[in-house]
Amino acid sequence: MRQRGQRVRRRESRESRDRWMITYADLITLLLIFFVVLYAMSSLDQEKYGNVIASLQRSFQTGSGILDGSSGLLDGGNGQQNGSGKDSENGQSSSTGSPTGQPAASAAPSGGVSAGTDGGSGQAGATPGAAASPSPRELAFRQQEAKLADLMNVITKYVKDNRLGDQIFVADKPQGIAITLSDRFLFAVGRADLKPAALPALRQLSGLFRGIGATVSIEGHTDKTPVLPSSRYADNWELSGARALSVLRFFLDRESLSPGQFQYAGYADTRPAADNATESGRQKNRRVEIIVLRQLQEE
């Protein structure tokens, strides 16, 4: 009798030690299901995404557990847990998949396909082409980019035809189309009054800016050489700002362009384009940049 009691106690002791494996197995199963759901949700297939969401909704609406053998997510015996694909084949939406007959909440992402809809039957709430259609603002940006490309082509042709390649430079920069005008082309030394020879080119630019629909920034720059004591300007800050303002005044007063389309600034020698140690570098630094910015004007 003593030996039989000892065997019973050993068996009970072994079972109590191994009981943690049940909880561990349940945890591993739940983690597996969790990552499978995450993987399914990361897919770009909108139909598959909708099916997973609909299946989760039906599982939660039943009020049953997932691993208890009832109508959970992995229960294939009910016919409704795997029924999203079957409902699609029968031409019926699976969004009404509650066992009580009550309609399920919509699970379709914004602009996507509604849950349980057969994507191959052409009855999706929004086709992939419609979901990828550009917004009105994106269309406006595309139209502006086309205008900027045309602007650069026209200015480049104008510079080439009039042999102004050493006075006007055009570049496509990340912030926009930059038109750089040398100070020798625009102004006399130490002055901010426009030369008459520069007016035709500025007039040509004003005609292009009239319908561009973008903000135009006019920026004055100088080299590091201080202004002469006899100058009317206190320093290079005033000189660079006055030169940018002269170009702006031409567009506003003589060409009657909209003031809201422009902005101007003077940067003195703080943004050099070349080395100030050489004469050629200083010449490149004395400039006015007209930048057609890549941004839409606020209505």
Q: What are the chain's domains?
A: 2-131 (no CATH), 136-296 (3.30.1330.60)
Contacts of 235 (CB under 8 A, 6+ apart): 226, 227, 268
Give residue 81's pLDDT.
Answer: 43
Q: How many CA atoms lie within 13 A of 226 on its CB side?
A: 4
Give this prediction's pTM.
0.54
Interaxial angle between packed helices 2-18 and 20-42, expressed in degrees from 0 to 180 and rounded to the nearest 10: 20
In 137-271, where do the E strands start and end?
168-173, 176-182, 214-221, 262-266
Check residues 213 and 247 and name the one with the higher pLDDT. 247
Q: What pLDDT score was predicted for residue 55?
A: 76
Residue 158 burial by Cβ neighbours in a 10 Å radius (0-12, 13-18, 19+): middle
Q: What contacts 48, CB < 8 A, 6 or more positions away?
A: 40
The token pair at 136 is 């009105």
pLDDT per residue as tens digits for the range 203-223? 988 988 887 778 999 999 999
Q: How far is 66 from 1, CA to CA, in rounded Å?
A: 45
Q: What is the pLDDT of residue 86?
A: 44
pLDDT at 17: 73
pLDDT at 5 over 90: no
H/E segment holding residue 288: strand 287-296
Q: Which two tokens stand for residue 45?
A: 């297939």
Chain-centre distance for alpha carbon 136:
14
Choose between 199 and 66: higher pLDDT: 199
Q: Are 58 and 75 in contact (CB under 8 A)?
A: no
Contacts of 216 (CB under 8 A, 6+ apart): 209, 251, 261, 262, 263, 290, 291, 292, 293
> How many CB atoms within 10 Å of residue 135?
8
CA distances from 78 to 72, 98, 103, 270, 297 (A): 9, 12, 18, 75, 59
pLDDT bucket at 271, cuts 50 / 70 / 90: very high
Q: Which amino acid is at 268?
A: A
Residue 180 pLDDT grade (very low, low, confident, very high; cuts 50, 70, 90): very high
- Report the alpha-carbon distance of residue 27 to residue 44 in Å, rounded: 28
pLDDT tens-digit series, residues 91-149 = 444 444 444 444 444 444 444 444 444 444 444 444 544 457 888 878 877 887 888 88
Q: Does residue 22 carry a pLDDT above 90?
A: no
Beta bridge partners of 291: 178, 217
What does the alpha-carbon distance between residue 278 and residue 191 come to, in Å, rounded to a whole number?
22
Residue type, 80: Q
Residues facing 220 on adjacent strands: 266, 288
Q: Cα–Cα distance between 267 and 66 in angstroms, integer? A: 68
Query: Mind listing the pLDDT tens digit for each residue in 151-163?
Result: 888 888 888 888 8
Q: What number is the average pLDDT over the span 80-85?
A: 45
The single-letter code of the amino acid at 47 is E
